[in-house]
Amino acid sequence: MIVFGWRAAPIDFVYTLPQSIKPIAMILMLIASLLFAAAKQRANIKRVIRHPQLTSVLVWSIAHLILNGDSRSLILFGGMCL
Model-level pTM? 0.86
Distance CA 38, CA 31 (A): 10
Q: What b-and-e string marks burial along 45-59, b requiring 16 or more CB atoms within 10 Å of the CB?
A: eeeeeeebeebbeeb
Domain borders along the chain are 2-8+17-81
**Residue 43 pLDDT more than 90?**
no
For range 55-61, the mean pLDDT: 95
- pLDDT band for 41, please (50, 70, 90 cuts): confident
For range 46-68, the mean pLDDT: 92
